[in-house]
């Protein structure tokens, strides 16, 4: 039986990482075999591309091609074999992030992204996308308190508002796949929302 593919999305500072760990523990306690991974990254090649992507200056098209090159390797090497083996794959970001960040944030042509999406992954999409949504200003405050900014996290609030709008557009286009999580709430309240989504699907 094929496994389930769950992606975690949201602007930087939304708190995804904390809840990936807690959902992993919940699923393992229920007997699931769980693979945690991330994008950009997830494989040796894709992690190398991640370092370039986050820290080297480049134009928007180069940035976009790098992330999709890493995604192709990630799918072929890790995600598809894990799903075929019946594992539950939890991925910190997937293609929705490309549409939100490079498409809406950077202003790249969405038709180009759609073409790359088709070339790289065909019909493969997550079975569920948990979208951690919160205002850009609140996310910036959280990031500043937690860590030094990388090339993306250093962008201004206007950029992150465009990214947030990009996520909203993706969610509106695939409401059966997306579950919006109000990430402005406490950790316990966010966890309760995630649990409710999982239970509503019988997972």
Q: Which residues of the chain have pLDDT under 50?
A: none
Domains in the chain, number: 1
Q: Given this model, what pLDDT does residue 15 score?
A: 81
Q: Given this model, what pLDDT does residue 184 score?
A: 92
**Do residues 80 and 49 touch, judged by C-beta distance below 8 A?**
no
Query: Rounded to an integer, what distance in angstroms lies between the CA atom of residue 52 and that of residue 48?
Result: 7
In three-state secondary structure terms, 10 is coil
Q: Given this model, what pLDDT does residue 43 score?
A: 97
What CATH number is attached to the domain comprising 47?
A: 3.40.50.300
Domain that holds residue 160: 5-200
Report the DSSP pairing between strands 128-133 and 5-9: parallel
pLDDT digits (tens, 9 = 90+) for 9-54: 998 877 888 899 999 999 999 999 999 999 999 999 999 999 998 8
Packed helices 110-121 and 60-74: angle between N→C axes, nearest 10 degrees: 20
């Amino acid at each position: 039986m094929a496994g389930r593919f769950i992606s975690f999305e949201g602007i930087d500072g939304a708190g995804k990482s904390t809840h990936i760990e807690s959902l992993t523990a919940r699923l393992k306690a229920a007997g699931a075999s769980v693979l945690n991974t991330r994008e950009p990254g997830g494989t040796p090649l894709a992690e190398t591309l991640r370092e370039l992507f986050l820290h080297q200056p480049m134009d928007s098209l180069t940035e976009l091609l790098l992330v999709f090159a890493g995604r192709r390797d990630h799918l072929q090497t890790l995600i598809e074999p894990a799903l075929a083996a019946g594992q539950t794959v939890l991925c910190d970001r997937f293609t929705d992030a490309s549409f939100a960040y490079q498409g809406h944030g950077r202003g790249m042509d969405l038709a180009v992204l759609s073409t790359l999406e088709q070339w790289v992954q065909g019909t493969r999409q997550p079975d569920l996308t948990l979208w951690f949504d919160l205002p850009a200003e609140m996310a910036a405050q959280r990031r500043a308190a937690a860590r030094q900014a990388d090339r993306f996290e250093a962008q201004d609030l206007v950029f992150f508002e465009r990214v947030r709008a990009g996520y909203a557009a993706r969610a509106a286009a695939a409401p059966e796949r997306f579950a919006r999580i109000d990430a402005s709430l406490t950790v316990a309240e966010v966890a309760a929302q995630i649990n409710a989504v999982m239970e509503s699907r019988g997972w």
